Structure 1
Amino acid sequence: MRKKIKGTKNRPRLFVFMSNKHIYAQMIDDTSNRILTSCCSNSKEIKKNLKLSLNCKTASILGKDIAEKSIYQGIRQVVFDRGNKLYHGKIKAFAEAAREAGIHF
């Protein structure tokens, strides 16, 4: 997927990865190969509010969190990179929460 999707400084790539236990999200600028901001479900501030670390509620909290971090940096437009995952379930909950928080993709 990353061969086709490129992020720039003005419109970075929002990459979502799910392991067996956690969800990770990163804003990546591919032109300068930098990670602008990131969040994950095993961070302390997210972990204290949740019992499970891999469900739709966690995904929506992460979507809102990364949207707030990116808006603080002045980023409102992104390219959504979901990897090889279907737009369903946790990925959909993450994307909808990010959109509700003010990110456009």
Structure 2
Amino acid sequence: MRQAVFIGGNPEDEPDLGALMKQIADGDEHAFGRLYESVSGPVFGIVRAVVRDVAQSEEVTQEVLVEVWRHAADYRPERGSVMNWVLTLAHRRAVDRVRSV
């Protein structure tokens, strides 16, 4: 049986992103800060791979995270994990940016 490998830390130390999303939907800024710490790196990585330009990638990453803050109540856990939801938003926003240029 294969065992999951976690890069960058102990999985027990990771926050429950689903619980954070519920708190963010209620306007909890501290919860958003914790979510930001968990997802900002992967979001930037996906955006950077699509957009390529560093400055534009930073801008798109910021737009995605603002969208997460504003639309946290739209997240549906039955449709997938928080990380997948956020990364899907990031990829779509990055592709939109490339198409607009």
What TM-score comes out, normalization by structure 1 length?
0.35
- Where is the strand percentage greater, Structure 1 or Structure 2? 1
- Where is the helix percentage greater, Structure 1 or Structure 2? 2
* Greater Rg by CA: 2
What TM-score comes out, normalization by structure 2 length?
0.36
